[in-house]
């Protein structure tokens, strides 16, 4: 094994130097913005390749952004709307689509309003992107794990073979991601490094994740992996339509993800949350009552509910999950079908969540995303404290904060405004 040696990355002869630490979409778009402005950029990542979570995101279709109007779009960021608004106005969903197109990856709007690259996957986009970055002279230092700052304030890395490496760039961007799916690279190891420097980091928590349910043996043995299609979920004042999937110990899927923040907070507060499932959101209670008034004849209750109310075997099993016997009258049955209570007893762990809530509080950074307490150190992406539902909102904010931080770095380095404008990715032809 090579001995740990200390050496310095040689500085670029003339251009200002920026270290981008973290090669996810936030770091890569910042590297592109800085590279276009003539900055000597080194992207550090502790994994053997960059963009691993982006590639994983593309497995089920890379949902880049959303096509809805700006007002509802920006509202998806809830408490983080105020700090994110100017950043997303400056790099909008249209800009993100134009950027993708400029990389040869045209986009389309799916039936739900979500925006995807036509290739659907992330790999062609990432390949074209890395070629562009190479053309801009961006350097990559892979298998370099950032471990904080040394006593002299230099960035410290553990490089290949355990080599101890330091770097002293003119500015630093930390884009280290959240802590979901840690095997893809973002493991939240940065939390103690920043907290140790006095930066306020709100606890990392799962977002867009599944929930725990104490299923009966019937549900667990017969319905694990079964989808609940075209349902509506309600919790407190929140209502959402979509789908869910039964897991061995709970329930997950798009409709749950959309409610994940209020459900998570309620469980943290009360130890449980009671979700209401509408199994037939397209039918009113009255029309359901009329259907359930039809003569049952010799049919079993299950067959009757399947035929008269159009319920799936899983839906019928859910009606039976409650402690009380099933109502027999049409009114009682219809009310239950429209509002099946489901008690959620916990959240799936952070490492299985789609994204991360919590992170560096926005109060810790200025409007250019520079840490107030550590001048010259900027932040972007999921490590900042914001969350949003699935639907393209995660990548949109990731890109917008990456670009916002890169522009902040250009200001900090006193790169003229003209270069700032030219650095806008969608406005400049790539080399």
Ligand X SMILES: Cc1cc2nc3c(=O)[nH]c(=O)nc-3n(C[C@H](O)[C@H](O)[C@H](O)COP(=O)(O)OP(=O)(O)OC[C@H]3O[C@@H](n4cnc5c(N)ncnc54)[C@H](O)[C@@H]3O)c2cc1C
* Residue nearer to ligand X on the CB measure, 175 or 231: 175
Q: How far is the CB of 148 from ligand X (least distance, A)?
A: 9
* Residue nearer to ligand X on the CB measure, 58 or 346: 58
2 backbone dihedrals φ, ψ, rounded to 5°? -60, 145
Q: How far is the CB of 404 from ligand X (least distance, A)?
A: 13
According to the binding rule CB under 6 A, does residue 91 interact with ligand X?
Answer: no
According to the binding rule CB under 6 A, does residue 365 interact with ligand X?
Answer: no
Residues 190-209, one symbol each (x = binds ligand X by CB under 6 A, - = not), give x-------------------
CB-count burial class (<10 Å; 0-12, 13-18, 19+) for 1:
exposed
Q: How far is the CB of 337 from ligand X (least distance, A)?
A: 32
* Residue nearer to ligand X on the CB measure, 16 or 159: 159
Q: Which of 88, 176, 258, 337 forms a contact with ligand X (CB under 6 A)? A: 176
According to the binding rule CB under 6 A, does residue 109 interact with ligand X?
Answer: no
* Residue nearer to ligand X on the CB measure, 176 or 246: 176
Q: How far is the CB of 383 from ligand X (least distance, A)?
A: 6
Three-state SS string across the chain, please? CCCCCEEECCCCCCCCEEEEECCCHHHHHHHHHHHHCCCEEEEEECCCCCCHHHHHHHHHCCCCEECCCHHHHHHCCHHHHHHHHHHHHHCCHHHHHHHHHHCCCCEEECCCCEEEECCCCCHHHHHHHHHHHHHCCCEEEECCEEEEECCCCCEEEECHHHCEEEECCCEEEECCCCCCCHHHCCCCCHHHHHHCCCCCEEEEEEECCCEECCCCHHHHHHHCCCEEEEEEEEECCEEEEEEEEEECCEEECHHHHHCHHHHHHHHHHHCCEEEEEECCCCCCHHHHHHHHCCCCCCCCHHHHHHHHHCCCHHHHHHHCCCCCCCCCCHHHHHHHHHCEEEEECEECCHHHCCEEEEEECHHHECCCCEECCCCCEEECHHHECCCCCCCCHHHHHHHHHHHHHHHHHHHHCCCCHHHHHHCCHHHCCCC
Distance CA 138, CA 430 (A): 14
Q: How far is the CB of 255 from ligand X (least distance, A)?
A: 16
Q: How far is the CB of 32 from ligand X (least distance, A)?
A: 13
Span from 186-194, 196-204, 230-238, 362-370 in contact with ligand X (CB under 6 A): 186-194
Distance CA 137, CA 131 (A): 10
Distance CA 270, CA 248 (A): 23
Q: Which of 38, 189, 262, 310 forms a contact with ligand X (CB under 6 A)? A: 189
* Residue nearer to ligand X on the CB measure, 63 or 92: 63
According to the binding rule CB under 6 A, does residue 395 interact with ligand X?
Answer: yes
Q: How many residues bind ligand X (CB under 6 A)?
A: 38
Q: How far is the CB of 391 from ligand X (least distance, A)?
A: 7
According to the binding rule CB under 6 A, does residue 177 interact with ligand X?
Answer: yes
Distance CA 193, CA 22 (A): 15
Q: How far is the CB of 244 from ligand X (least distance, A)?
A: 17
Span from 103-111, 216-224, 246-254, 394-402 in contact with ligand X (CB under 6 A): 394-402
- E-strand stretches of 83-163: 107-109, 114-117, 139-142, 145-149, 155-158
According to the binding rule CB under 6 A, does residue 210 interact with ligand X?
Answer: no
* Residue nearer to ligand X on the CB measure, 199 or 337: 199
Cα dihedral across residues 292, 214, 207, 184: positive or negative = negative
* Residue nearer to ligand X on the CB measure, 19 or 266: 19
Are the CB atoms for 322 and 281 separated by under 8 Å? Answer: no
Q: Which of 355, 359, 369, 415 forms a contact with ligand X (CB under 6 A)? A: 355
Map the footprint of ligand X across residues 112-171, applying CB under 6 A: 145-146
* Residue nearer to ligand X on the CB measure, 175 or 305: 175
Q: How far is the CB of 416 from ligand X (least distance, A)?
A: 28
Q: Which of 34, 57, 155, 415 forms a contact with ligand X (CB under 6 A)? A: 57
Q: How far is the CB of 279 from ligand X (least distance, A)?
A: 27
Residues 27-56, one symbol each (x = binds ligand X by CB under 6 A, - = not), give x----------------xxxx--x-xxx-x
According to the binding rule CB under 6 A, does residue 22 interact with ligand X?
Answer: yes
Q: How far is the CB of 335 from ligand X (least distance, A)?
A: 37
Contact residues: ligand X, CB under 6 A: 21-27, 44-47, 50, 52-54, 56-57, 62-63, 145-146, 175-177, 180-181, 185-186, 189-190, 354-355, 381-382, 392, 394-395, 398
């Amino acid at each position: 094994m090579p001995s740990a040696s200390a050496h310095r990355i040689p500085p670029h002869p003339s251009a200002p130097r920026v270290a981008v630490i973290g090669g996810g979409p936030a770091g890569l778009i910042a590297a592109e913005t800085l590279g276009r402005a003539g900055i000597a950029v080194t992207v550090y990542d502790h994994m053997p390749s960059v963009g691993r979570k982006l590639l994983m995101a593309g497995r089920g279709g890379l949902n880049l952004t959303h096509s809805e109007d700006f007002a509802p779009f920006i509202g998806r960021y809830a408490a983080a709307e105020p700090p994110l608004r100017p950043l997303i106005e400056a790099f909008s969903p249209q800009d993100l689509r134009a950027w993708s197109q400029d990389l040869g990856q045209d986009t389309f709007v799916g039936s739900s309003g979500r925006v995807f690259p036509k290739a659907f996957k992330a790999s062609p986009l990432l390949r074209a992107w890395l070629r562009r970055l190479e053309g801009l002279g961006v350097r990559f230092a892979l298998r370099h794990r950032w471990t904080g700052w040394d006593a002299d304030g230099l960035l410290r890395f553990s490089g290949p073979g355990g080599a101890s490496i330091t770097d002293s760039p003119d500015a630093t961007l930390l884009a280290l991601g959240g802590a979901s799916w840690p095997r893809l690279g973002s493991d939240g190891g940065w939390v103690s490094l920043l907290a140790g420097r006095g930066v306020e980091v709100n606890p990392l928590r799962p977002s867009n994740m599944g929930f725990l349910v104490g299923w009966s043996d019937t549900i667990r043995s017969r319905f694990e992996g079964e989808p609940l299609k075209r349902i509506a979920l309600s919790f407190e004042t929140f209502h959402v339509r979509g789908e869910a999937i039964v897991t061995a110990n709970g329930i997950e899927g798009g409709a749950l993800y959309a409610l994940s923040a209020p459900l998570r907070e309620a469980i943290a507060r009360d130890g449980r949350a009671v979700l209401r499932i509408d199994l037939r959101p397209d039918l009113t209670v009255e029309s359901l009552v009329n259907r359930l008034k039809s003569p049952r004849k010799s049919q079993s209750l299950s067959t009757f509910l399947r035929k008269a109310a159009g319920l799936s075997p899983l839906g019928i099993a859910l009606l039976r999950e409650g402690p009380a016997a099933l109502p027999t009258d049409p009114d009682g049955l219809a009310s239950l079908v429209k509002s099946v209570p489901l008690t959620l007893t916990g959240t799936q762990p952070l490492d299985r969540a789609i994204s991360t809530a919590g992170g560096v509080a926005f109060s810790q950074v200025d409007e250019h995303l520079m840490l107030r307490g550590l001048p010259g150190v900027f932040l972007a992406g999921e490590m900042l404290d914001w969350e949003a539902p699935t639907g393209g909102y995660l990548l949109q904010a990731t890109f917008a904060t990456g670009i916002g931080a890169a522009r902040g770095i250009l200001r900090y380095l006193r790169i003229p405004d003209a270069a700032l404008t030219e650095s806008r990715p969608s406005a400049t032809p790539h080399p």
